[in-house]
A and B are shown apart, each in its own frame.
Chain A
Amino acid sequence: MDRRHEAGRATVSEGDEDRPTFAMPRPGKTLTALTTSALALPGIAGSARADAPIERASASTSFSYYREDDVENKRLFSTSTAERYEVFTKQLRIDFPTSERTDVGIDYLFEDMSGASPWFVQQEGGRFVQFMSGATIEDQRHDLNIDLDYYMDSGKDTVSAGFSVEKDYESWHFGMANERQFNDKNTTMNVAWSWSFDEIEPTDGGAAGGFNRVKSDHKWSVDLFAGLTQIVSRASVAQVTVNYKHSDGFLDDPYKQIAYIGGAAANLPDARPHDKDQVSVMARYRHHFEDVEGTLQLDYRFYFDSWGVTSHTAELGWSQTFADIVRIAPSFRYYSQSQADFYEPMVAAALTGGSTPIERSSDFRLSPYGALAARLKLEVDLEDCLAYEVDGTLGDYGFSEGLDLILGLSYERYFSDGHLGLTTVGEFEQSPGLVSFHVGAFTITGSF
């Protein structure tokens, strides 16, 4: 007899698969007779199956470097620094089952940021030019999020909470999510809500700071999400999601100002409405082509908010697999946004009546523009690359006796310009602060 066995292998999964549902009105006479007779045989009646953990412990770590292009000469105020932002990010995520039906996920992110950011827009040589914040900004951000999942036969409930802190900003959030599956798990419905509270204490704030900046303020927001995922065929799946967010409180950017054309008076602080409603609708589709071993990835997002911004985002990607181990995925992203109602690079001096616009911002992020990004991702799957012994207790926590690793490398180049938007914005009108950047990242994911 040829005997072969493997110890302790397991794969990441989400839940039990249903057995084929075969409608059996009632067992026929023959089947009843045979089954009864079979059950009389010693030692073959099935006993209760031992329950086993369905999840596997996994961890993921990532390092990335983000760097913005210097502001172009022709868009830079002569005495301003051209340098923009640079961010080093380190991330760590751990998932492990804590019981047969629950698991915990811990997500930690650390960001080391430095550089200068757009402050206000000026006029020079008949063009709008950007004036960057003077001193180099240096800040570190810690972001922690914890998820608790509870699995049921056809779905799961999640509770999550977390915070993000940096020198001048603190944000706390809490939320719940629910996932349910129907149609033999062909259809999945997701709903989620979350609430967050943010507090800002800008550097050099208050009267003493000299920048006419608020000393400290806060805002809260509520986020509602609903999504539907549908398996379309054996090789394709589609998803539609809707997201609504309401924010209330201090929504200005205390580090930005808006200057008067002609410099008649001192710069005005960035001033935005005290509330904001945002809606985002996404449709996504994935289709795998078996004969070429490639997957088509399509994403579209439509966004609009109560500040007047409407945007369209479209992503097109292709993931090509080689020898089941290597995946190379190039993708493109196109983005176009319209301007916020109160966006203006500069404020015209009050000519009569001395009326200053109540809401105003020169922030390039509220200006009209389009952006194109190209990305390339490389992933290598190293299954079972290391074998080791694991004792019973660790086995209960989802540890199996082999390490599966996925190594990933990615690069993105993002470029934005007024001419790229769906509604072309002239040279003179586009914000001089539009950003372009590179991001490179390296990730290791392991399932234990």
Chain B
Amino acid sequence: MGSPCKLELYGPDTTAIERAADAACREIARLETKYSRYREDSLASRINRSAGSACGIVVDDETAALLDFAATAHAESDGRFDPTSGVLRRVWDFRSGCLPTRDEVDETLRLVGWSKVRWEKPHLTLPVVGMQLDFGGFVKEYATDRVAELLRGEGLAHGLVDLGGDMAVVGPQPDGSPWLVGVRNPRAPEEAIARIALHDGGLATSGDYERCMVVDDVRYSHILDPRTGWSFRGGPACVSVRADHCLVAGVTSTIAMLHEEAGAESFLADVGLPHLGITQSGRLFGETELVSEAPRSVAAREKTRAIGRL
């Protein structure tokens, strides 16, 4: 999946846990094989190779459902969420420290746009050669939900799935208390700026702390706006969203990051999911009820026992 994956599991005995963890790993490997753009034999690569051909490609039920989901997200976000925006990666090289030229971006933008894709279940056609479908923007969150469900199916009642920061709860901690997860401070990733309690459901975080470029004293984050092809400026530093499914939380946080700070706040308020956002200046917004200030480092899992009896 390209990022550290962690499972915290509690169960009646080691054998059950081993078995469940094995099943979880197999599922993650399956999804990686299927949807990774880095693997030549993946379905994603086959889809991308079919770009430009008139007959397109027939996809299976799982992929069809994922495409339907992506289509919904695209529609609900006025185009901010776009699974075809992956090609922009080619002109934006954050390691080089060089900005792409206007022409390069415009040229690549021809290949971007979900509205250009013909999706008539189960037929998918990418009309222009070079167009690509990037599942990376949501398959990790989907995998998180799948693994959590799978673990529940294996009989585990307590656990937390953490695939590179996308989390889904299998069940609360054994004493019934929620899992406490730290939200990294975008400007100091070793510290937690807040703690979120997860009793059930999923949590996804989008932030600009990973890759960025500073050119002529201007900071360009890796968050690219599919509508302009350009690095999006003016958005929040990071957004964490809680939903029943990590997948829904994930696209919501991704979409929120592509809004100006004020717009992000109202978008998240409209969606109505519990969320926490941090502006570029470090101000917290959203459900500050969701958090408590965490003085210690990220990934502190603390037991919260109930108060003793009289």
Contacts and interface: CB of A to CB of B under 8 A. Distances in A.
Given A4-B6, A17-B306, A239-B310, A41 B271 contact: no
The secondary structure that dominates the A interface is loop
Interface string B162-203: 000000000111111110000000000000000001011000
A8 B271 contact: no
Contact of B175 (A11, A20, A37): A11
B216 interface: no
A190 B305 CA distance: 20
A30 B271 contact: yes
Nearest to B295: A290
B146 A34 contact: no
Contacts of A16: 172, 176
Nearest to B18: A5
Which 7 A/B pairs are nearest by Cβ-Cβ distance? Answer: A13-B175, A14-B306, A10-B174, A19-B199, A44-B145, A50-B157, A52-B157
B310 A51 contact: no
B310 A5 contact: no
B270 to A, nearest CB: 5
Contacts of B272: 24-25, 27-28, 31
A54 B270 CA distance: 37
Interface in A124-144: none
Nearest to B247: A38
A100 to B, nearest CB: 11
A5 B17 contact: yes
Contact of B244 (A11, A20, A35, A188): A35
Contact of A5 (B9, B142, B243, B287): B9
Given A9-B10, A44-B247, A46-B152, 10 more contacts: A1-B1, A1-B25, A9-B174, A17-B304, A24-B272, A31-B243, A31-B252, A50-B152, A50-B171, A395-B13
A43 B149 contact: yes
A17 B177 contact: yes
A154 B184 CA distance: 34
B21 A3 contact: yes
B7 interface: yes
Contact of A49 (B8, B11, B157, B310): B157
B65 A33 contact: no
B72 A20 contact: no
A49 B178 contact: no
Contacts of A50: 152, 155-157, 171
Contacts of B243: 31, 35
Contacts of B173: 11
Contacts of A391: 13
Contacts of A35: 243-245, 248
What bracket does the count of chain A residues touching chain B fall in? 35 or more
A351 interface: no
B153 interface: yes
B200 A38 contact: no
A348 interface: no
A446 to B, nearest CB: 16
B95 interface: no
Contacts of B232: none
A18 B176 CA distance: 9
Contact of A11 (B4, B14, B174): B174
B265 to A, nearest CB: 14
Contacts of A6: 8-10
B214 interface: no
Contact of A38 (B7, B248, B270): B248
20 contacts: A5-B7, A11-B175, A11-B303, A14-B305, A20-B287, A22-B289, A33-B75, A41-B69, A42-B62, A44-B142, A49-B157, A49-B171, A50-B157, A50-B171, A51-B157, A52-B174, A179-B310, A229-B310, A389-B14, A401-B13
A354 interface: no
Contact of A17 (B10, B12, B172): B172
A50 B157 CA distance: 5
B127 interface: no
B21 A11 contact: no
A92 B25 CA distance: 46
Q: State which size class the interface on B falls in.
A: 35 or more
Given A4-B7, A43-B149, A227-B310, A12 B200 contact: no
Interface centre among B9, B21, B72, B289 (most CB of A within 10 A): B72
B307 interface: yes
Interface in B270-297: 270-274, 287, 289-290, 292
B73 interface: yes
Contact of B13 (A14, A52, A389): A389
B287 to A, nearest CB: 6
A353 interface: no
B178 A17 contact: yes
A412 B85 CA distance: 73
A392 interface: yes
Nearest to A290: B295
B38 to A, nearest CB: 15
Given A390-B13, A391-B13, A43 B68 contact: no
A50 B159 CA distance: 12
Given A5-B8, A40-B68, A33 B176 contact: no
A13 B66 CA distance: 40
A52 B12 CA distance: 10
B28 interface: yes
B238 interface: no
Contacts of B270: 28, 30
Given A5-B8, A5-B21, A17 B176 contact: yes
B91 interface: no
B131 interface: no
A47 B72 contact: no
A431 interface: no
A27 B270 CA distance: 9
A29 B272 CA distance: 10
Nearest to A52: B157
Given A31-B248, A34-B76, A51-B157, A46 B17 contact: no
B132 to A, nearest CB: 22
B66 A41 contact: yes
A400 interface: yes
